[in-house]
Amino acid sequence: MDGKRLVVGVSGASGTPLALRFIREAKSHDIEIHVVLTRAAERVAYYELGIDIAGELRDYVDRFYYEDEIDAPIASTSYQTSGMVIIPCSMNTVAKIANGISDNLLLRAADNHIRMNRKLVIVPREAPLNPLHLENLHKLSMLCNVHILFPVLTYYHKPETIEDMEKFIVGKILDILGIENTLYSRWGEE
């Protein structure tokens, strides 16, 4: 495989603006992007942004799939990728991944990344968390290739807009994937 290829899962949790920002930023780094969109994500995107997210995403991705396209190339462990990001990641999706359920393409791709020891970044979007959510997240955190990154507010980089907050989160995800970026001021940098 030449270059980087990422799978991006967009599940039905609040936070579709983060998914759009991440995908646009990753694409600007000349990364091949494969997106899996759930039907619930479509509904949430419409409520949050008033857009047809599928139509919006098609302009920024190399391959686009719905969750029921289980015959897609990314459903196979033989399809090489540099990693996967699920942004936003619902607690339903977290629970299924943590318990080995892969009954749709997004879950199958996540399972493949775990099985092949490829990086999997999960950006959970839920609050408050109940003990079952925490148990499932803990299970996933114990796997050496799974990274959990909550989209939390931070202030040391002196954000002035929501976009600044989003850039911080997207920058952190890119850091985990080993993709250089200058989306936020790092601690100790001026």
pTM given for the model: 0.96
Instruction: Read off the pLDDT of each residue in 140-166 and give the average, rounded to a whole number.
Output: 94
> pLDDT class for 43, splitting at 50, 70, 90?
very high
CA 181 to CA 160: how far, in whole Å? Answer: 19
Annotated domain spans of the chain: 5-176
Domain 5-176 has CATH 3.40.50.10800: no
87 neighbors 22 (Cβ within 8 angstroms)? yes
Q: What is the pLDDT of residues 92-129, one digit of tens each?
A: 999 999 999 999 999 999 999 999 999 999 999 999 99
CB–CB of 101/23 below 8 Å? no
Distance CA 20, CA 51 (A): 12
For 179, other C-beta atoms within 10 Å of its C-beta total 17
Q: Is the pLDDT of residue 190 over 70?
A: no
- Residue whose tokens read 């009954």: 103
Structure tokens at 184: 């936020």
